[in-house]
């Protein structure tokens, strides 16, 4: 069996986004499933748009997604270099082969002339194609014009008859009439390659067995297949995966919630959850199962299960899935993961003892873990547990329902009196004391719990009251109850005073 070798070849002109990340994931899973090689190749021939910052952002995003590469930047490999900008000798070698076999010709047509031809074709409602003006120039004329300093690109000689057909591993049989294609440019005057030629040279040189990419590249495939044919080489197998659309059926964009992979990481998504979500954009194991570990994906993945229909991006599903993964973490794991977000919000002191800091966060996380959807939720969910007793805010709704105008003052004062003498101050005794008090006063326990929660946390909704009180401790609970009494005192009738 031919060795499985696949590649992910990003252009370093920006960050890695959802579509590119899915392409990388599908290639990586295919390689790992078959025990093959996953190669990272950087298509940086456009130096005006490429940058070292983008290369670093892409490689960092791949690492976060746990997609390691067997050959490529930083790890090397036998088919390097893995930057197109460093592969000029490879491209020149293949170009020389095509020149020697009369498969290409020099074209001297100016950009202005080509644009004029294009405009005329569009006005006639015809597809713009090169007219073949320089196709039959004699060698003497070519030599003379080059000697005069005229610039000439290299065009492939399209056969113009027949068709280019191949069996796509996702889409099935695909064919393109060559009559609808022109003599396309493969290299600039200096011999530097254009995209389709460079890709063919690289895939041949790196012995790529399968090209798995988005179907936006489908139109490039016939040109690449013609070049393989001209070089007398066997092409790789192609698999064009469907595009990803927003919920409204339009092209995926930021307005649908999609952004760079780096942004997802900063926002607090877990790599495992994001990969799980990403693989389901165009692949399905069955109609019932959606949750997979990375190793389970490696074992289950196959191109036969990749659909040719467009995948629909669903931000709500991604958040749901991330929340599920967050709830599967141990409290220790979640606490360690949210510390940076809490430190950025000023809720933990980055200079304090790490063990002390983590212990405090761990207690808070344990109370609120079920509510997490993102790691970045931590400041919002945990702030009332971590700030000083006089700093947590009060929600307007909680105040109106339970505290304003001295509502439930007697309950708060009675609770404070209970807590002062409660020994030991632990979960069991706190719960027993509060429930006994409610029963003694003939109140439903909720009539006691809700105002106490509002006073202690400033919120209507929160963790279990008794667990929260144990976490805060006796002195903090007493200070918070007194703060609520002071902030929302009982309104006395006119003329009445204490």
Judge whether 158 lies within some domain.
yes
pLDDT over 70, % of the chain: 98
- Contacts of 103 by beta carbon, 8 Å cutoff, 6+ apart: 156, 157, 230, 231
Check whether 223 has a pLDDT greater than 70: yes
Three-state secondary-structure class, residue 269: coil
Strand 153-156 versus strand 104-107 pairing type: antiparallel
**Count of domains for the chain:** 3
- Cis peptide leading into 424, omega within 30 of 0? yes
Question: Residue 46: its pLDDT value, please?
Answer: 77
pLDDT band with cut points at 50, 70 and 90 for residue 277? very high
H helices of 148-208, in order, are 195-205
For the domain that residue 357 is a member of, what is the CATH number?
1.10.8
* Catalytic-role residue among 254, 317, 400, 441: 254
SS3 of 108-134: the string is: CCCHHHHHHHHHHHHHCCCCCCCCCCC
Does residue 335 sit in the same domain as residue 209? no
Check whether 495 has a pLDDT greater than 60: no
Mean pLDDT score, 455-476 = 96
CA distance 357 to 393: 22
pLDDT band with cut points at 50, 70 and 90 for residue 423? very high
Mean pLDDT score, 69-95 = 96
Does residue 92 sit in the same domain as residue 234? yes
Mean pLDDT score, 59-80 = 97
Judge whether 52 lies within some domain.
no
Does residue 353 sit in the same domain as residue 482? no
For the domain that residue 472 is a member of, what is the CATH number?
1.10.10.350
For the domain that residue 115 is a member of, what is the CATH number?
3.40.50.620
Mean pLDDT score, 338-351 = 89
Judge whether 351 lies within some domain.
yes
Judge whether 472 lies within some domain.
yes
Mean pLDDT score, 163-174 = 97
Check whether 348 has a pLDDT greater than 90: no
Mean pLDDT score, 348-352 = 77
Instruction: Show which of 184, 212, 241 is a domain's final residue.
Output: 241
- Note if 254 is an active site residue: yes
Judge whether 296 lies within some domain.
no
Contact 16, 55 (CB under 8 A): no
Judge whether 64 lies within some domain.
no
User: Residue 37: which of 67, 62, 75, 4 has the closest Cα?
Assistant: 4
More confident position, 207 or 494: 207
Does residue 483 sit in the same domain as residue 413? yes
Question: Residue 45: its pLDDT value, please?
Answer: 81
- As a whole number, the mean pLDDT across the chain is 94
Does residue 135 sit in the same domain as residue 216? yes
pLDDT band with cut points at 50, 70 and 90 for residue 358? confident
Does residue 343 sit in the same domain as residue 482? no
Judge whether 298 lies within some domain.
no
Check whether 357 has a pLDDT greater than 70: yes
Instruction: Show which of 214, 241, 268 is a domain's final residue.
Output: 241
Does residue 336 sit in the same domain as residue 457? no
Question: Residue 492: its pLDDT value, please?
Answer: 63
Does residue 206 sit in the same domain as residue 126? yes
Domain range spanning residue 339? Answer: 330-377
Instruction: Show which of 177, 206, 241 is a domain's final residue.
Output: 241
Three-state secondary-structure class, residue 176: strand
Question: Residue 50: its pLDDT value, please?
Answer: 82
Question: Residue 31: its pLDDT value, please?
Answer: 98
Judge whether 37 lies within some domain.
no
Question: Residue 126: its pLDDT value, please?
Answer: 87
pLDDT band with cut points at 50, 70 and 90 for residue 1? low
Question: Residue 267: its pLDDT value, please?
Answer: 96
Does residue 234 sit in the same domain as residue 355? no
Does residue 362 sit in the same domain as residue 403? no
Does residue 360 sit in the same domain as residue 462? no
pTM to 2 decimals? 0.92
- Contacts of 411 by beta carbon, 8 Å cutoff, 6+ apart: 443, 447, 448, 451, 452
Question: Residue 48: its pLDDT value, please?
Answer: 75
Does residue 344 sit in the same domain as residue 428? no
Question: Residue 62: its pLDDT value, please?
Answer: 98
Which tokens sit at 335? 């606490």
Which tokens sit at 211? 């090209």
């Amino acid at each position: 069996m031919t060795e499985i070798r696949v590649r992910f070849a990003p252009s370093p002109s920006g960050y890695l986004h959802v579509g590119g990340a899915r392409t990388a994931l599908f290639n990586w899973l295919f390689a790992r499933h078959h025990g093959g090689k996953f190669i990272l190749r950087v298509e940086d021939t456009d130096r005006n748009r490429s940058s070292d910052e983008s290369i670093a952002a892409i490689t960092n995003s791949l690492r976060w997604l746990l997609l390691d590469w067997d050959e490529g930047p930083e790890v090397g490999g036998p088919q390097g270099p893995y930057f197109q900008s460093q592969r000029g000798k490879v491209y020149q070698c293949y170009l020389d082969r095509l020149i020697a076999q009369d498969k290409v010709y020099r074209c001297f047509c100016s950009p202005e002339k080509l644009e004029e031809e294009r405009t005329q074709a569009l006005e006639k409602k015809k597809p713009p194609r090169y007219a073949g003006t320089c196709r039959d120039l004699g060698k003497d004329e070519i030599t003379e014009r080059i000697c005069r300093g005229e610039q000439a690109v290299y065009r492939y000689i399209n056969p113009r008859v027949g068709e280019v057909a191949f069996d796509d591993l996702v889409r099935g049989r695909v064919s393109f009439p060559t009559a609808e294609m022109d003599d396309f440019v493969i290299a600039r005057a200096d011999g530097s390659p254009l995209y389709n030629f460079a890709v063919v040279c690289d895939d041949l040189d790196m012995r790529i067995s399968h090209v798995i990419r988005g179907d936006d590249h489908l139109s490039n495939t016939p040109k690449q297949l013609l070049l393989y044919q001209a070089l007398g080489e066997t092409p790789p197998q192609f698999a064009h995966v469907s595009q990803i659309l927003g919920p409204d059926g339009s092209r995926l964009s930021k307005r649908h919630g999609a952004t760079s992979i780096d942004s997802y990481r900063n926002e607090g998504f877990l790599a495992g959850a994001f990969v799980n979500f990403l693989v389901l954009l165009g692949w399905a194991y069955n109609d019932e199962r959606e949750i997979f570990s990375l190793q389970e994906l490696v074992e289950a993945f196959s191109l036969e299960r990749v659909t040719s229909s467009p995948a629909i991006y669903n931000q709500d599903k991604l958040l749901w899935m991330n929340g599920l993964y967050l709830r599967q973490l141990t409290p220790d794991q979640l606490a360690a993961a949210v510390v940076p977000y809490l430190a950025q919000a000023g809720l933990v002191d980055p200079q304090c003892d790490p063990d002390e800091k983590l212990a405090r966060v761990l207690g808070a996380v344990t109370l609120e873990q079920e509510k997490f959807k993102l790691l970045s939720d931590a400041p919002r969910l945990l702030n009332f547990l971590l700030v000083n007793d006089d700093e947590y805010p009060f929600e307007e709704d909680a105040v109106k329902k339970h505290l304003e105008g001295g509502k439930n003052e007697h309950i708060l004062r009675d609770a404070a009196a209970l807590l002062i003498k409660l020994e030991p101050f632990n979960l069991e005794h706190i719960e027993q004391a509060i429930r006994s008090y409610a029963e003694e006063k003939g109140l439903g326990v909720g009539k006691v719990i809700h105002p106490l929660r509002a006073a202690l946390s400033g919120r209507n909704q929160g963790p279990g009251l008794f667990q929260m009180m144990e976490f805060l401790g006796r002195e903090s609970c007493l200070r918070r109850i007194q703060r609520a009494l002071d902030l929302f005192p009982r309104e006395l009738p006119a003329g009445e005073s204490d």
